[in-house]
Amino acid sequence: MATIDEQPERTLQSRLRFTREMMAGPIYRKYEKAMRKFWDPGEFDYEADARDFQELTPEQQRGIVMITVRFLGGEQEVTDETLPMIYAAHALGKFDWTMFLSSFMMEEARHSQFFAMWHERVVGAVDVDELSEYWIEREKTVDPTGRYQTGEPVYEGLPYFGHQLIDACHAGDLAAVEEGFVRFSTLYNIWVEGVLTMPSYEIVIDTCDIWGKLGTLRHGFKQIVADEGRHITFGTAACRQLIEKRPELEQVVHDAINLYRGNAIGMLEYQRFVPELDLQKYQLQKVRHYKNRCRELNITPDQTLIDDILDPDLDFVIGIEAG
């Protein structure tokens, strides 16, 4: 490897990264918006939620914590897996992406903080041995029709594709960085944040409304959804740029989604715990979000995926071992 003295001289363009065009662009403006929309979980009042929680039945307590514990883990994982996108933005010389992703990573950390504080102060459980009884392993889910399996896109897919993306950055192979970014961002921003998680936010907010309780949890979710909207539209805007440059990358999007297709087709386990919830509403939401993501990406939606999400014969429950 060349010594530090042998490094090429830096151009002025590589030092002064801001341009008028970048500052007027959609991704830099998302960064500006994130700066304006600051919120702090440390300022929330958790006392009323703690009282509400004590008034819930044991089934209701278990039902809600089965949802929130998945968010507590998921937010930590996505905080830790923001790095490959930042590294790719650096490798591709896209400083507006780096600026935005700095706010993105901080926001995922903030979501982690919110769930940690809520569990500690409301449930009285935050360490792993206190929460393990609420954890459902989705890897075990089997579709009784035998057509689908579900997996762990967050815990298994993101670290795997994140490593691949980092390797491409290290190798300096920019075509592989572009392709790896599309694969990673599809799984992260488009599929996990943009389709799979969206109904879960609604389920929590609807549950709080039905029970007339847990106002701080509801408020926290509302704040998080606003942050997630920027994360999703960053992913679709960034991938769209790359697909416009290299149309063959559209297939990378479909392939990444198909890896975890079963996760959208099954229902979520915790829907069972609130019998008042309208289950079909959340399947329709997944379809609406999927179509919106495809429109933002300017790609063609996979109609067979939409048909399967809405197929009443495919109604296995994620987290439940069939048979």
Q: Which positions lie near Fe ion, rule CB under 5 A? A: 75, 108, 111, 193, 228, 231
Minimum distance between the CB of residue 195 and Fe ion, rounded to whole angstroms? 13
Q: Quote the CA–CA distance of 50 and 53 in Å, as a whole number.
A: 5
Tokens of 318: 């994620």
Q: Which is nearer to Fe ion, 297 or 317 (CB)?
A: 297
Per DSSP, 290 falls in state H
Give Dmax over CA atoms of the chain in angstroms: 69
For residues 106 and 277, which CB has a smaller minimum distance to Fe ion in the complex? 106
The strand pairing partners of 318, in sequence order, are 268
Cα–Cα distances (Å) from 284 to 159, 172, 195, 203, 311, in that order, read: 29, 42, 11, 13, 11
Distance (Å, whole) CA 230 – CA 233? 5
State the Cα–Cα distance between residues 68 and 70, nearest whole angstrom: 5
In the complex, minimum distance from the CB of residue 146 to Fe ion, in angstroms, rounded to a whole number: 33
User: 109 vs 126, which CB is nearer to Fe ion?
Assistant: 109
The residue among 75 and 179 lying less far from Fe ion, judged by its C-beta, is 75
Distance in angstroms (rounded) separating the CA atoms of residues 16 and 166: 25
Q: Identify which of residues 98 and 141 has a Cβ nearer to Fe ion in the complex.
A: 98
Q: What are the structure tokens assigned to 130, written together?
A: 């206190």
Structure tokens at 152: 């762990």
Cβ atoms 304, 122 nearer than 8 A: no
Q: How far apart are CA 159 and CA 197, in angstroms?
A: 18
Nearer to Fe ion by Cβ, of 233 and 283: the residue is 233
Q: Which is nearer to Fe ion, 103 or 141 (CB)?
A: 103
DSSP annotation of 139: G
Give least dist CB 300 to Fe ion, A: 26
Q: Which residue has the tokens 């007339």?
A: 212
Q: How far is the CB of 40 from Fe ion (least distance, A)?
A: 15
